[in-house]
Structure 1
Amino acid sequence: MRLSELDFGKLEKEGEFDWLGLTAEDYKGKKVLTFLNDEKYYKEIENNKSITCIVTTEEVAKKIEKDKYGIILSKNPRKAFFELHNKLVQEDFYFTKKENRISEKAIISEKANIGKYNIIIEDNVIIEAGVTIYENVTIKKDSIIRSGTTIGGNGFEFSRFEDEVLSIAFAGDVLIEENVEIQNNTCVDRGVFDRTYLGKNVKVDNLVHIAHDVKIGDNTLVVACTLIGGRTKIGKNSYLGPNCTIKNGLILGENSKVSMGAVVTKNVKDNEVVTGNFAIPHEQFIKNLKKM
């Protein structure tokens, strides 16, 4: 799609895009239209090779290298961007509707709810009663989805504009790799613009919330009542203890461990163990405890 085809704003420089997205996320293989309200985030755009077009203000546009990007001007770039996104979701801009591909070797309860299109379920997948699988979900072979779990539903994404709250439509998907097990009454949201991803051999306990666009690396264990905020990235072989909370947008390194009940508000390094509210390195937490 070309910027000149849009029905808002003022065209500053022509450009083409085939996806919408955020400055801090990478969308490999896509030509991405994003928005820029403040020039301080321009560095994120420069570092993001996916972005080809920008919705921005006349003032901020003066700071942008116009030979690199298509530009369209708006008095409220963020609102214009999300309203366009919602419109494009309704027009099936992001996905073509295709028939489900469900293996005859999959074991699916008659009491499971399976969406009408863009669902792939491979060999030996087990889906128990009361599971809901929405559209745009892929579940690879030998995975198990226990009763009451919901996969691929819309998450919590809203934008406030003065007295108006705009509900943001979801255009992403969910990919669950081989030999994943998700136990009872867990929620896995689909991505807003990108993908929610569970790597090979990931095991998820009961009553876990995995928000939109979360990426969980291979062999990670997620224990009961954990909450993982949107766009969080978790490295392989990690462990999230019972009742822990992970702030949205964080990066947890490989082999990291989050202790029971921890509230994580900062990135966690490879091989690091964090404890407490707010979570700090476990050894430091114990030292602080001994001083009390």
Structure 2
Amino acid sequence: MKKKVTLADLADICKGRVLGDPDFEVRGIAPLENAGPEDLSLAMNAKYLRQAASSRAGALIVGEGVQEKLFEGNYLISDAPYWAFAKILQFFHPDPAPCNRIHPSTFVGDNFTCKGNLFTDAFVVIGQDVEMGEDCRIGANSVIGDACVLGDGCVIYPNVTLYPGTRLGNRVRIHSGSVIGSDGFGFAPRQGSWEKIPHLGSVELGDDVEIGAGCTLDRGTFGYTRIGNGVKLDDQVHIGHNVQIGENTLLVAQVGIAGSSQVGKNSILAGKVGVSGHIRIGDCVQVGPMAGVAHDVADGQVVSGAPEMPHRQWLKVQRILPRLPEMRRRIAALERKLGMDAKEGTET
């Protein structure tokens, strides 16, 4: 059943302001093409405002500075419209209320402690010496290894594995199929064979970290692989042993970071980025999709390509690449005209 709330109430939730009728009753939030006359929808920029003109939405979330483009109607104006959209979605679709229910099939080891309100689904395994905060939820078939520590409000979705000694901050979410704390890829060579290097460390996730589905975070060789507060990982991301990720950084799908590399805070690594081992990527860096980072990247840089280079330089290279076959033919013709051996680059 949809909630009933005024536009003014929603403006308070997302620190926005109302243009139009503050008492307009909103019953849901929906995309422009599906919204009805009692729904709120998002129009982030002028492109979406044009689409909104034919939408049935009763009210729109828009950004500041677009008043001259608005047609008559009801608006929730925000300096961060996408953030406002997120906050309102959370209001209409909140997480399940905390409850205290341990499924009969859950296995709980010795010396388990919990501050309060734990929900477990079927066939959860909780090892010995585990500590949990309040209001945690553990999905079916998940394994919480020995001596793990979970803060308040953690959500572990089905089929997640936390290896022994993993530490989670408050409000951490880990989606299905992810493995936290597996051995790093460490093998010492000798005479054509490989000797496994034991990994004795663990993984530490800060507050408000979200790990997507199917991710793997390797434990440190001795110390921690650390993921800072507010970091978000998309699905199928791999983090090698001893990697350090700064707060509020985003790693998009299929990013792979080799062992002992560092990524600073507030950086974004786009899809399929690969980072070599022992590399330092600074704060506020943007790395373009499918880039291969083989060298340190300074704070604030925008890089693309493999190996990585400044994004503008990469754009120039991409414009040249389709012309290379024709350029090669022209150069060969010039060399023949000049009586040069194209293979050797010398006069004949």
Residue in 2 that maps onto 1:61: none
Structure 1 spans left out of the alignment, 5+ residues: 1-96
Q: Deviations over 1:88-121 (max 9, x none)?
A: xxxxxxxxx9811122421112421111x22100
TM-score in terms of structure 1 length? 0.65
Equivalent in 91, 95, 112 of residue 142 of structure 2: 112
Report the CA distance between 1:256 and its aligned residue: 0.6
Is the contact made by 2:140 and 2:159 (CA closer than 8 Å) also made in structure 1? Answer: no
Q: Deviations over 1:188-216 (max 9, x none)?
A: 11101221001011000001101110100
SS at match of 1:147: coil
How many residue pairs get aligned? The number is: 195
Equivalent in 185, 190, 212 of residue 241 of structure 2: 212
TM-score in terms of structure 2 length? 0.54
RMSD value over aligned CA atoms? 1.5
Structure 1 residue runs of 4 or more that deviate by more than 4 Å after TM superposition: none
Q: Does 1:196 align with 2:225?
A: yes
Distance 1:218 1:98 in 2: 30
Residue in 2 that maps onto 1:152: 181
Distance 1:98 1:161 in 2: 38
Q: Which protein has the larger Cα radius of gyration, Structure 1 or Structure 2?
A: 2
Distance 1:111 1:289 in 2: 47
Residue in 2 that maps onto 1:259: 288
Q: Does 1:167 align with 2:199?
A: no
Distance 2:138 2:209 in 1: 16
The aligned amino acid for 1:205 is: D
Structure 2 spans left out of the alignment, 5+ residues: 1-126, 322-348
1:61-210 counterparts in 2 under 5 A? Answer: 99-115=129-145, 117-210=146-239
**RCO comparison, higher one (Cα < 8 Å, 6+):** 1
SS at match of 2:149: strand
The aligned amino acid for 1:177 is: G
Distance 2:199 2:207 in 1: 25
SS at match of 1:106: strand
Report the CA distance between 1:186 and its aligned residue: 0.4
